[in-house]
Structure 1
Amino acid sequence: MRTSADRFAALLLVEVQCDCTQTSIDIIGGSYTLTKNLEKGSLLVYHCPEGQYPYPTLTRLCQANGSWGPLPKKRPAQMCKRVTCPDPFVLENGNVSPAQENYFVGDETTYECYSGYTMRGSSSRICLPNGKWNGSTPICSRDSGEACPDPGIPPGASRLGSMFGIDDKVKYACNGKMFLVGSSERVCQENGQWTGKEPECYFKYTYDTPQEVSEAFGSAIKDSLTTMESLNDTQGGRTIRISKEGTLNIYIAVDISESIDQNQFDKARNAVITLIKKIARFSVSPNYEIIFFSSEIYEVVNIHDFFDQRADLTKVIEDLENFEIGDKNTGTDLNLAFVTFEKRMSFIKEQAGPEGFKEHRHVLIMFTDGAYNMGGSPKPTVERIKDMVYMNHTEGEKAGSREEFLDIYVFAIGANIFDDDLQPLTLGTGEKHYFRMKDITELGETFDKIIDESEVVGLCGLYQEYNTVDKNSIRKRFPWMAFVRNTGLKSKMCLGSLVSPDFVLTAAHCFTFGDEPENVVVELQGSGLKEKKVRKFTLHPKYNLKAKANEGVQEFYDYDVALIRLNESVQISPLARPICIPCTQETSDALKLVGKSTCKQQEQLLLKDQLERLSFLTRQNSLVAEKDVFAKLGGNRNLCIQKALNANGITAKDPKVAVTDNFLCTGGRIEQRNHIACRGVFSPSYIYMLPNKPRFCLLTLYVGIC
């Protein structure tokens, strides 16, 4: 017989569950929503007007004992506070104004460099509602002769390291309660670029705008798509696989755990559907692995079905649209999602073999808040995936040659994001891979905008790296390359650059008065191949070879530019792509400048150093070879242009008469020895590799006087 004491002891072992109450959970100046009313596990999310954020907490969780965690307090009261931007007073070698304790939305700051220093970046910035400054980080630098430019210090950060030579390191940390997004350590490379991604300092309320996501993630995914070349069509007219140059595999995981509410799930799912539909318009479409996850995996499509030719994209989209969370959202095992992807990759490697697997590119896209309560940290799994794709190469064993084959993107969604757990999971070169979303309502629209077939087909400056010397490989290395053959009054052969499907840019001195379009032929895929007839050519109206003959310059090559319009458009492919040219939106996008940019802003990024490494093409047999030069800028320019006075045909005493500000000056033996680029039967043109991007930009058509 059980005693009352026994019954009391048994009652002590029973978990008592109570609903939470609405006592003391209001927010001054804002509102809140509940994911499960006042039941256990319900997430209370605070909302504030634009330009404000919930303080001191963003969310509360209804616990089993009927209390909210964290508990509401009278002091400090829950309220909406004004968004502030990170402290801009980190600028070195310059002044910031005005000096304020806090910078709120709409506040403007201006930046000015000390005498002898040159401004790069934005000279004025405005604090935005997302907790960021508009524009780019202002940097005051001067010629130091070091390999890499001053990487600057983002607002709210501190930097350790002021030496910018090859292999020198700089380390960043964020001040106060901010956290760092991007690379905490960067290394100066031989090519004059810094490793990693430019760091930023975020508050807990800071988020990335749809435009930022579109321009960063969109640029990267377009690069991946446009490096592929289709081989055959299957499944309703779509090319599912396989490209001649490799296979693109996309793995997508969407968090459906309790910490992600139904509304956010719906928006994430719709964004995924939009992304797949847009990619499906291309002649090269990836293989997909798509899962939803909580404590278990719910697979929408297995990537193996694509390799077995059993995948139906229409059915995949239909299954996505019909998926319901129901009671599937108990617990969270983030690691299980990565383990699933690891298993799929292992299968692909087994089927393709080690050599075949080398041609597979893998893009992982995660939608999650980073919370997990089972399965442990996914970091070890990510390391195994990395080793598999990198072929176990370490940094000292040329791991960089495999880095482009793996990208892991994280879209941080949800009201309470675990940034410290999520950021280390991202991988990839070039563009930003971690996106912190305030509201993913517009993410579907963002994905819809980032992949416009007409835009991607002609994406400027793309190329593919090859070591062989056959014509196709060289075409893919320089796909904008054009041979301009003029059989008019004076037969000439010049180099040109494809700048759009209809236009080729070349030098005006390739033409003589009296030449007609029918005398000109443009060869786009190697000598004698793919000849294009010319509809019209136009010389720059200010081009005049004898413009300064009376000033002591017998041949003056300023404005030495001609634009050729082709009779018919070029079909864009890996063998024929336009190069980027300055002062265009395409180059602005490639430079990661948000929104519209000015020519000056582009110039600050393209020609940011006192010695800028450039390349030019010159004829080699029936093909071309790449040569390197260094443009002397800033304090180095005057000494460089002085050498022009020694050139044949120049008797002027002032070098600026012969070499105007429109010219870049190269040559000489200051620190680096340059190849010689002179006018001849070919017109050399300077091309510039964009920072951390597999893209080239055309800077000038004619090099100057030898």
Structure 2
Amino acid sequence: MLLCLCTFILWAGVTTQESPLDSAQTCSTQVSIQGGTMLLSDGYRQGSILTYSCPDGSYPYPARSRMCQADGNWSPMRSPSGRLVTQASCRDMRCPPQQTFENGFYGPRLSAHRVGSVLNFECFDGYQLHGSAQRHCLPNGRWNGTSPVCDDGAGHCRSLPTPPGALSSGGRNRLGDRISFQCMKGLDLVGSSQHVCTPEGEWSGAETSCRAPYSYDRAEDVGAEFGASLTNVLSVVSSGTDHVPAQSLGRRLILSQGSFLHVYLLADASHSVTKENFEIFKNSLEIIIDRIASFEVPVRFAVFSYASQPKKIVDTFDDIAEDPDLVIEKMKDKMKYEDHGNATGTNIQQALMAVYRMMISHRASNDKGWDQTRHAIILLTDGKSNMGGSPRNATLRIEDLLNVAANRKDYLDIYVFGVGNLDVDWDGMNEVASKKAGEKHVFKMKDSMELKKAFEDVLDPRDLKDLCGMANNSASASWDQQQPWHIMLQHTTQGEPSCRGVLISKTWVLTAAHCFSKFNDTLSWRVILADKTAYKTGLPIKRRIDHGLYNVRAKVAQGIEEFYDYDVSLLELDVPMQVAQKLRPICLPCTTGANKALKKPETATCKDHELDLLSFEKVPAQFVSLDNERMNVLIKTKKSRPKCISAAVQHKLYSKVANISEVVTDRFLCSGGDGNGVVEDAVCKGESGGSLFVERRARYFQVGVISWGTFDPCEKKGKSMETGHRIREAPKRGQKPRDFYISLFQVQDWLRHHLAGSLRFIPLQ
């Protein structure tokens, strides 16, 4: 069995609420901060944590937090030189100066730069600039862009840039040359202090930066940088990629059948974190678990909380370790801030040793597959480790246990997150975190809410070309990032799109056949994408394939004026789509892509997919509205289906039909509320052809195509003055709206016949 070890460490800051003064106060009330605000976790009582906050572009000096001690005094504040400071104040952020810039010139040359300052770089003749020619000092005390360097292309490796605040020494850029960096006084080095020019023409080690104690990472940067590294850990190269050159695979893991990745999650529960922030930590870990579980890599999770001593919540050896839902459920039930009692120090050494002992135990029970297991650790904390010794001692033991030699570095990733405290030890975090070329493993966040926001944006699938049904569901994501498979159909004579559809591969769109009843000339239709900057006029359709058995007039002789059985159509695009952040196929059931997303064995069948996706009596599902919002319905199956389809007689076309199954055949899925208090959304005219989809562990699977319904909630076409969205009418009393969708499980022969060249299908049974 192949396993992966991943460790994550989080450091959290303090956000507390001020309590009113009372007779129990023990510390002075004269602790305000000039230019900022303060919050108290428990008034002025013993043990209360005071937290200072400053406006954007400034930071609390000389400390962000203080504790009311047993002797009735607040913990002292000292300057970096050790001088006692009695009054806290908000100081302006500064970005570190550029110390050197070889083979070019830059300016302005200052000892420090205020927020908003600009640095410009230019190379001498004969040298090419790589990196940012202009950099801006941001409110978080960091420069935007990337460190620039002037290179003449003559070296074995490209010239290595010197980051702001650093001086370099050593060789040039020949094979085997070593370059070392040292940060100026008052700054901490993050990344690798030394780099070697390797035979591959790349510099070893993680990118170097010099960080001030008050600087921090923005949520959007963490989401991108952490996500990029973690994506390398989670992206699986399938068994069919043996022909791909190794260098093109980068650091993607090649996992064999039955192999696992082990992910260890550690959350700081020390006293300074506070219960409120600990809960945010837990929620952040839940987000990460969901994100990781959405990938096709088989994963086992381990979860710890820690203060002076660690507490194990989930072991990788537990039966539930492979089930993210059960792991999260146990976290909610068993992971409590109060469990650490009065043992409230920060002992990262012991937390990592608990991971080490778990690894030893697992290796003993799985000796044959242990050498192929991959591991990742994520650690969250709010400050420096103040007891237990250097955490590096534990990481060295872990590296030795896993035999992390030069050719096995990808078997272990350790990520460290420090949150919201000037006491967060950049040097200590950097010592623990992994150092891999082109990746970042150590971060510092302004506060715990920023950490949560960053985790919501982690693992954006923009760079994953081969994974279907992935979306960005973070609060900051746009609607087209949340459903990147959704498209619109518009005839050239119409002012706006009249139907919807869904991207199911790079070259095919699935929609409803009845969309073309009014305008049957396929060449006059366009596929409209959300990202209009790439295809402003829409995409032409190469050909259209309606289902051969679709015939809206098929039962006129039986008194059924319109009949929508087999109401599906395939549209082949003139130009294959490039998968991107806002454009990605949904997972089509019964394909190999969907099978991997569902984490089914290779022997799984189409029937297995149907049982998985439509197994409940009432299946929660969604479709996308005219206003590009997700709408919620319940698909009625099994015993609930007959009652659902019987209400189709509410449509005036079918009010006199004696046997409703003549209209609603077995190929239809049905949804609609029964007035029992469960609210369901109804489909509007114009939403036809769109996808009815279900979610499984943050992956999305289309189960039906929107065909027709008995009630149009958008008939009046009114819009809200506040949101600008259409006002969807509620049904009248006694009315029970019903919507019907062609089940993709019931048109498999047709899909397989026409899509065999674009998608790989699994056996039907």
Superposition TM-score tier, normalisation by shorter sequence: 0.5 to 0.7
Q: Does 1:424 align with 2:438?
A: no
Q: Deviations over 1:575-599 (max 9, x none)?
A: 9xxxxxxxxxxxxxxxxxxxxxxxx
Letter in 2 for 1:402: R
Distance in 2 of aligned mates of 1:39 and 1:447: 34
| Partner in structure 1 of residue 336 of structure 2 | 324
- CA shift, 1:303, in A, is 1.3
- In the superposition, the TM-score normalised over structure 2's length comes to 0.53
Q: Deviations along 1:250-292, whole A, 9 cap, x unmatched? A: 0011010112122321221111011112333344341011011
Q: 1:623-638 counterparts in 2 under 5 A? A: none
Q: Is the 8 A contact 1:126 1:133 kept in 2?
A: yes
Give the Cα–Cα distance (whole angstroms) in 2 for the partners of residues 274 and 281 of structure 1: 11
Task: Look up the match of 2:170.
Answer: 161
The aligned residue for residue 502 of structure 1 is: 506
How far apart, CA to CA, are the structure 1 residues paired with 2:59 and 2:462? Answer: 40
Mean Cα displacement is larger for which, 85-94 or 278-287? 278-287
Aligned-pair CA distance for 1:537:
7.4
Q: In the alignment, does 2:352 pair up with 1:338?
A: yes
Instruction: Decide whether the 8 Å contact of 2:97 with 2:109 is kept in 1.
Output: no
Structure-2 separation of matches of 1:122 and 1:572: 39
Bigger relative CO (Cα 8 Å, ≥ 6 apart):
2
The percent of aligned pairs where both chains have the same amino acid is: 31
Specify the SS of the correspondent of 2:331.
helix
2:36 paired with 1:30 = yes
> CA 1:113–1:77 in structure 2 vs 1: closer, same or farther (change >3 Å)?
farther
1:220 Cα offset (Å): 2.0
8 Å contact kept, 1:406–1:428: no
Q: Distance in 2 between matches of 1:429 and 1:247?
A: 22
Query: Is residue 2:153 matched to residue 1:149?
Result: no
Q: Please give the alpha-carbon distance, in whole angstroms, between the structure 2 residues aligned to 1:67 and 1:294.
A: 24
**1:102-501 map, 5 Å:** 102-143=112-153, 145-227=154-236, 244=257, 246-306=259-319, 312-322=323-333, 323-326=335-338, 328-329=340-341, 330-332=343-345, 333-353=347-367, 355-390=368-403, 399-415=405-421, 416-430=423-437, 431-452=439-460, 456=464, 458=466
Match of 1:550 in 2: none
Q: Deviations over 1:179-223 (max 9, x none)?
A: 111111111100110011111111111111111111121122222
The 1:37/1:163 distance shift into structure 2, 3 A limit, reads same
Quickly say closer, same or farther: Cα 1:197–1:131, change in 2 above 3 A: same
Alignment-derived partner of residue 106 in structure 2 = 96
Change (3 A) 1:319 1:372: same
- RMSD of Structure 2 on Structure 1 (CA): 3.5
CA spacing shift, 1:538–1:334, aligned 2, 3 Å: closer
Q: What CA distance in whole angstroms lies between the structure 1 residues aligned with 2:305 and 2:84?
A: 40
In the TM superposition, what are the counterparts of 1:652-667 in structure 2 within 5 Å?
A: none
2:188/2:212 contact within 8 Å kept: yes
Question: CA contact under 8 A between 1:267 and 1:440: conserved in structure 2?
Answer: yes
Gaps of 5+ in 2: 1-23, 240-254, 469-503, 509-541, 544-570, 577-584, 597-765
Corresponding residue of 1:79: 89
Q: Partners in 2 of 1:311 and 1:113 — Cα distance?
A: 53
How far apart are 1:327 and its partner, in Å? 5.8
Q: Distance in 1 between matches of 2:445 and 2:159?
A: 30
The CA deviation at 1:378 is: 2.3
Give the 3 Å change call, closer, same or farther, for CA 456–114 of structure 1 in structure 2.
closer
What SS does the aligned partner of 1:215 have?
helix
How many residue pairs are counted as aligned between the two chains?
Answer: 445
Kept after mapping to 1: 8 A contact 2:299/2:322: no
* 1:76 to partner: Cα distance: 7.8
Task: State the alpha-carbon separation in 1 of the partners of residues 72 and 91 from structure 2.
Answer: 28
| Cα distance per residue 1:221-241 (max 9 Å; x no partner) | 2222222669xxxxxxxxxxx
Q: 1:223 to 1:339 in 2, by over 3 A?
A: same
1:97 is displaced (CA, Å) by 2.4
Whether the aligned pair in 2 keeps the contact of 1:104 and 1:127 (CA below 8 Å) is: yes
Gap runs ≥5 in structure 1: 1-16, 231-241, 392-398, 461-499, 505-516, 519-533, 540-564, 576-706
Structure 1 189/501 Cα, relative in aligned 2: closer, same or farther at 3 Å? farther
Amino acid at match of 1:79: S
Amino acid at match of 2:193: S
SS of match in other structure, 1:339: helix
**1:370, 1:419 within 8 Å by CA — same for their partners in 2?**
no
SS in 1 for 2:278: helix
> Is this contact kept in 2: 1:170–1:186, CA < 8 A?
yes
Alignment of 1:639-650 (within 5 A): none
The amino acid across from 2:179 in the alignment is V
Is the deviation greater in 401-410 or in 314-323?
314-323
For 2:60, the aligned partner's letter is P
